[in-house]
Structure 1
């Protein structure tokens, strides 16, 4: 971070600096360049202006910040001065509505977070670990009949992720309906990603694209509503008495009460939160594990070390358990390095509620602040040879040498992702269980999969790998 702004001869601090702005004459391009190649456009801006610059797609002021000191200032030290009433979250709000991910109402968000946080601690996530490994085992049983086949790994893991989250939420088998939910989200993700890059025409304008979006939202809503209605009917039939089984997440949310007002969620808010959980858990697991298996296929030396750790910890067992997690540090390092290179939630935004100064730069009120971890996680000042896949970056010693906020796969500050413990537990358990029995190999060693910058960072065309038994 640069030094403090100079002091004028009068003894008074100098006026805040203006943030550099991309202009047409810079050769970087304007709204169409941002729409056609978002990552290329932002990368060119960073190359030209450094860690903070402004651009205006269709006149909307956006400031990209790309330094851990700036992120600490905005998300941690001054978190209350920045909210989620920002362009990106306005774009996704037709899907996520008032759920935790995109909620701009700070008081409602705090109330919901208070009620939900106890159900997402490492201790409570332990109760759902068996769902993760049971469903992984079922997937692998199906794989046993497909040796040598080239799998659409993104689709396979996507279906697994939905089965895990819905078993954890609803204690239910979701079957082929999970695939329909994934397809509906994929459609919405692509449409909203395009709209974020070029927000015109408005989403409420009846274009064919917007009709497809609203059909997809309706499909996802129907999926969630079906399970909530069934649970409410079952509860009514039992007279409101809970069964003897371990409660699932839906039961916990249904009976959650805010410690301040003594009330629970209404059904509309419950629907929004359940939909947010489904989308968040599905997308994080699907994309991260797809990229993990792709990177392992390209780096056999990392794969060999991972195999050695997993074999030593599991011994004769073929399925990992929650108790194994502390004994699998290299598996966690592989996950962390994958999240560095290909974070699914690779961008997020805040809106400046009032004028602020960041490192001497004036940030006007209502400015959209963009954090793009695709670039933050490649910042050459903090990551040597940043395109190299190297899990050793995440040894305890290496982590201690870096600024905390240069790595933000789950965000930072008071709005850090509530599901991060669930996600990390699932990612490590699925990874360890899969690699204990199988390898996933590139059919063509020259194949290169590129990231697709939608609302989330998706492997373009999906990951396709050949299944081999170990």
Structure 2
């Protein structure tokens, strides 16, 4: 991150750099981001791109790493109705119940001076939410194994991106670690899917909706291998986004007292002590601003790549076919031309007036264009509801002897060692 931030400051909004001999072009200006992800999205593929090739072992041919083109559009069209805002609202009861469960987990530690590991606990809750929403199932020890397996895979993929030698094709500790992690995660998902198929159970959860969905062109259902891949993609994305997002948000709220006071005031004023619902989210405007500002500073999916299919021109620079394009929201979200005092945590950046004053693609935590994150509305609702329910019950404090929490630059941007906070009953 230091290298990329300094390079952007020195060389501008588009520059070429090399990672172990591999040339890449980084684009950092909102107009350039929009060009690659939206205006000329059809010319920029994930095919043959190192970061997605590395992730193929885990993600298979799911939406996250499908190269693009007609196959991606066909699969996206099949799945998109399952994640529309009105459908997401149907699943928010799972989010609410699990957020309440999180507050109960913290009750024994409240006021005792012993910090809770917010990241570990939020991970458990996030996985319970996604498995209940996908499979109508509660999970216990198998979920913990999934969390540990994902942590191993995240570490391996992050290390490979920094140093791809030796590759996973060579015998090594990280190949063994990756194979074990992948097998455990796939087994977790496939067991749920197989049971549902064996019993022809297509209930009204996310898996049932995906099993019933049909392709527009031929009326067929999703092939079983594709269903495995998509479900695993959804579990990983929903689990990690929420785990990191909640961890960073609660840490930042605890660190900034005035933000915390305004946040609690909104929760108390709007909810009057009752449990929030999906319908309340439109009125929790400051809560949403906190979520947006958290994702500006610490977007879990903070980097992505594309490869140019044909020659192109970006901001007056010639981009030959085959060029690897690198986008990093961590850097763009701190662009000094669009974010004053960019390291400061300031939810006021996301008032409607402030949003209108800057280019749309100065901020892209969920990507943009035809490949924007399909679970965006699910994630935003989940983050807001969990924050609101925690705020009703607890005041959070950073332990006085604890140093700053820093980001681990893995494939996702995870708080190193987890966020630890003291909890006090309100």
TM-score, reference length from structure 1: 0.88
CA contact (8 A) 2:106 2:116 kept: no
The residue number in structure 2 matching 1:184 is 149
Q: Which moved more, 1:98-107 or 1:168-177?
A: 98-107
User: Partner of 1:335 in structure 2?
Assistant: 291
Deviation at 1:139, TM superposition (A): 2.1
Does structure 1 residue 87 correspond to structure 2 residue 44? no
Say whether the 8 Å CA contact 1:162–1:282 is kept in structure 2. yes
What count of residue pairs does the alignment treat as equivalent?
Answer: 423
Equivalent residue number for residue 31 of structure 1: none
Question: Hey, what does 1:15 align to over in structure 2?
Answer: none
Corresponding residue to 1:106 among 69, 82, 104? 69
| CA deviation profile, 1:6-36 (whole Å, cap 9, x unmatched) | xxxxxxxxxxxxxxxxxxxxxxxxxxxxxxx
Alignment of 1:359-378 (within 5 A): 359-378=315-334
Superposed CA deviations along residues 315-339 of structure 1, whole A, max 9, x for unmatched, are 131x211111111000000000000
Q: Which residue of 2 aligns with 1:153?
A: 118
1:276 partner SS: helix
Shift of 1:58: 2.2
Q: Is the 8 A contact 1:341 1:374 kept in 2?
A: yes
Aligned counterparts of 2:106 and 2:38: Cα–Cα separation in 1? 45
1:417 maps to 2:373: yes
Structure 1: gaps of 5 or more residues: 1-38
Distance 1:329 1:180 in 2: 36
What aligned pairs does 1:307-326 form with structure 2 within 5 A after superposition?
Answer: 307-317=264-274, 319-326=275-282
1:36 maps to what in 2? none
Query: Which of residues 79, 84, 88 in structure 2 aligns to 1:121?
Result: 84
SS at match of 1:145: helix
Whole-angstrom CA distance in 1 between matches of 2:236 and 2:276: 25
Match of 1:49 in 2: 11
Q: Is the 8 A contact 2:95 2:386 kept in 1?
A: yes
Question: What is the match of residue 217 of structure 2?
Answer: 260
Structure 2, unaligned runs of 5 or more: none
Deviations 1:104-153 (A, max 9, x none): 15222111111110010100000100000011112222222221331010
Conserved 8 A contact 2:273-2:392: no
Is 1:280 the counterpart of 2:234? The answer is: no
Aligned equivalent of 2:135 = 170
Task: Report what 1:221 is aligned to.
Answer: 186
2:32 to 52, 60, 70: 70
Q: Distance in 1 between matches of 2:3 and 2:104?
A: 45
- Give the distance between the partners of 1:48 and 1:109, measured in 2 at CA: 37
Q: Which of the two has higher C-alpha Rg? A: 1
1:284–1:84 Cα change, 3 Å = same
- CA–CA separation in structure 2 for the residues paired with 1:393 and 1:52: 25
Q: 2: CA distance between counterparts of 1:291 and 1:191?
A: 22
**How far did 1:446 drift?**
5.9
1:56 counterpart SS class: strand
Quick one: which of 407, 413, 418 aligns to 1:457? 413
Is 1:394 aligned to residue 359 of structure 2? no
Where does residue 383 of structure 2 map in the other structure?
A: 427
Partner Cα separation in structure 1 for residue 45 and residue 401 of structure 2: 45
**Which SS does the other structure have where 2:330 is aligned?**
helix
Offset, 1:366 = 1.1
Pick aligned residue for 1:293 from 231, 240, 250: 250
- Can you list the C-alpha shifts for 1:230-289, whole angstroms capped at 9, x where unaligned? 212232xxxx6x56xxx0001001111011221111110000000000000011100011
Is 154-163 or 444-453 further displaced after alignment? Answer: 444-453
Find the residue that maps to 2:405 and give its secondary structure: coil
Report the equivalent of 1:24.
none
Looking at structure 1, the residues matched to 2 and 225 of structure 2 have their Cα atoms a distance apart, in angstroms, of: 40
CA distance in 2, matches of 1:436, 1:46: 42
Asked if structure 1 preserves the Cα contact closer than 8 Å seen for 2:79 and 2:210, the reply is: yes
- Check whether the contact 2:298–2:330 (CA below 8 A) recurs between aligned residues: yes
Is structure 2 residue 97 aligned with structure 1 residue 134?
Answer: yes
Distance in 1 between residues matched to 2:349 and 2:43, nearest whole Å? 33
Please tell me the root mean square deviation across aligned C-alpha atoms, in Å.
Answer: 1.2
Aligned counterpart, 1:304? 261
The Cα offsets for residues 399-421 of structure 1, whole Å up to 9 and x where unpaired, read as: 00010011000001111000000
Q: Deviations over 1:379-415 (max 9, x none)?
A: 0000000011000000000000010011000001111
